[in-house]
Every structure is written in C-alpha cells, then in structure tokens.
Homo-oligomer: A and B are copies of this chain.
Amino acid sequence: MKNRYLAIRQYSEKICAPLQKEDYVVQPVSDVSPPKWHLAHTTWFWEEFILSKYSPEYKRFHPRYSFLFNSYYDSVGERVLRLHRGNMSRPTVDEILAYRSYVDEHMTSFLSAASDTITPLVELGLHHEQQHQELLYTDIKYILGHNPLFPPYDENFKETSFIESDSTFAAIAGGIYTIGHHTSGFSFDNEHGVHAIQLPSFYIRKSLVTNEEYIAFINDGGYKNPLYWHSDGWAWVNEHKIDSPLYWYKHDGAWHRYALSGFEKVNPAEPVTHVSFYEAAAFAEWSGMRLPTEFEWEAACDAFQWRQRWEHTNSAYLPYPGYTKPPGAVGEYNGKFMINQMVLRGASVATPADHSRKTYRNFFHPQLRWQFNGIRLCKK
C-alpha cells in the first residue's frame, strides 16, 4: 500500500512537470482549478481525514491550509470560494511541493504501521487523488488552450490512442441485467446498491462519433435548428454563441483545434471530444438516433472498446436503490451532487490506468465541455 501510495502521489507531480510556474496559478473559469490547487487539495485530504485523525502526534504543516484547500466539504469548515482560487498567488508552488513532501513523509511512516481498518479510507484517498489527476490534465488543457499563444503541453501527448474502424452496431438482447458494482475491488458508494433492470433490446454503435460526422452536423445547420435541441440547450447555444466543440477554431476555411500536443488541424477520423451533453443529445437527434442510458451502456459495454472518451448517457445522476450517504464529512463525497447532473460512462485518455471499471459513474452538469468526453449512438 505504501508503494502504491507513493506511485500515485508521484504521478500527480509528474503530470505537472511540463508546466511553468505561472501555469500553476490561473483559473479561467470556476470549474477549472489552478494546478497548484489540485496538488494542495489532494494533500489536504490526507492531512484532514487521515493524519490529523489517526496519527496522534501529527502536527499540521500550516494552520491556514485546512481553510485554503478544502473544496466542497462544507461540514469541515469554511472554505475559499471556488471562484477565488485563481486569485491566490500564495502559497507558492514551491511551498505546496514542500507541503506534499511533508505529508508524504508522514503518510509513509503512518502506512508502515497502519491497521487494516484504515485501508478503505486510504483507498478512497488514492482514488480521490486519481480523480484529480484526470482533472489536472483537463484543467491544464483549459488553461493553455485559452491562452492566445496556444502553448503545447507535451508535443507527444496523444488524445486519441487508436482509430476505430468498425462503425457497425452491436445488437443487445432485451432482458434483466444486473446494474452496479458486484465484484471485488474498490468502488465508490454511488455504484453500490446492485439492482436488476429490465431492458428492451437495442442497438449500440461499436465506434464513437467521429470529427467527420460531427462536422457534417455543423455543416447541416445543427447549431441553428431548435428542433434538435433541448429547450435549456437551445438557450445555452444562443446565450454563449456556441457553434462548434470547445477548442475548435475555423482557420483558413478548415477546422483546427487546440490539443495537449498543440494547435493542429482537426483529424476527421478521430472521435469527437469536448462536446456538452446538450450537443451530444442534439447530434443524436439530428442523426435520428439517441444516447444510451447508463444502464444500457453498462449492459452493452463488452461489445465495444471504450477507454478513449467519457461517453454521454441520457441518465441523470441519481442514487441507486438503497443508497445512503456514509456518516460524517466523507459522506459529502457523492450524494450531494445527485441533482442537475448527467452520468457519463467509460473512461478517457486522461483517466489513470487503474482508475476505470464498467460500473464507474462519472457526472457533470449538461453544459460542461472541458472533459475528454464523446458520443456513442444507440437506436431502437
């Protein structure tokens, strides 16, 4: 466990290695956090929920950090409002790296002697840090991709690991399916509450929607016709003058995009990404098909390859039967978000290798686009 702890902790810092000090600080929109905030907040988790509770002699690194790096845990105390994170030039990156070293040192001692009863909380902390690793990638992309100079993050970063060649549909038989995490290994509380679901038969496409297909939707007036859109989606398109995926720019008559490897022409064969739920649903409507529910996705996911994009579903993020929040502040982890968000299934190129499973329920508000998400179509 100690080795896994250290490996995961080091990976967070490795993600940030290509950054300049200045890149760690900014927060262009409220959903994007400064990279140094992620590095500090994940460290705060260990200090707050493990060291300060279970390690009697532990002295906190700094008396104000609990206030500064708390995120949504309202019951732990006041917190710095999310939209002010980007105004905090201090603590500096070096101070936060020192904070990380200090906590890592104490955690490694602690883990050497820790009893098994603490293991579930350590596991939660590790998965929490992995969730922020994915956010580090997407937040860094937002920061560099909104800079007028479009600096590459890493010229060798591949946002698409393979081109899908099979765009046929898999036929999924109707019947009773078991939904939820029912094997061994870690899972979040939102995956518990295993239950049976009756599904009619349906077809699901083996490949994700490509950039080429999405450009056809644009060219066919997809962003101009209210009949394809949800009412709230249509209001969003018009208020924000949306006419293409996030990071796309029309330049010399051709679509270009910012990728973590730099500014480049859109490759028609790659799966489209950085589209909101609203756009995914409108695209599906335009194509005469629909998005799968999260239950259909879970029932069907062995029939296709799925680790390139978080896949929009037409399911709201709601509790499974019998869901109850764990007691205390850790109980705020998932349940409080079960309103106004839609479920995405699968994993993306930015998801840490051992942080995905069929039953994983990711969730975002329907207008958000900065994750590596994508569109899988369903019919009948």
Contact = CB atoms under 8 A, between A and B. Distances in A.
Contacts of A232: 339-340
Given A80-B148, A90-B151, A196-B198, A234 B340 contact: no
A87 B331 contact: no
A200 B316 CA distance: 20
Contacts of A28: 84, 87
Interface in A10-34: 20-28
Nearest to A150: B90
B233 A339 contact: yes
A221 interface: no
Q: How many copies are assembled?
A: 4
A314 B318 contact: yes
A128 interface: no
B22 A92 contact: yes
Interface residues of A, number: 66
B20 A89 contact: yes
Contacts of A254: none
Contacts of A21: 21-22, 92-93
A88 B151 CA distance: 11
Given A21-B22, A64-B149, A322-B200, A74 B234 contact: yes
Interface stretch (A108-116, A223-231, A245-253): A223-231
25 contacts: A20-B90, A21-B92, A22-B24, A22-B25, A22-B89, A25-B25, A26-B26, A26-B89, A28-B84, A74-B226, A75-B226, A89-B143, A90-B149, A90-B151, A176-B198, A227-B331, A229-B336, A230-B336, A230-B337, A231-B336, A232-B339, A277-B339, A278-B339, A316-B316, A340-B340
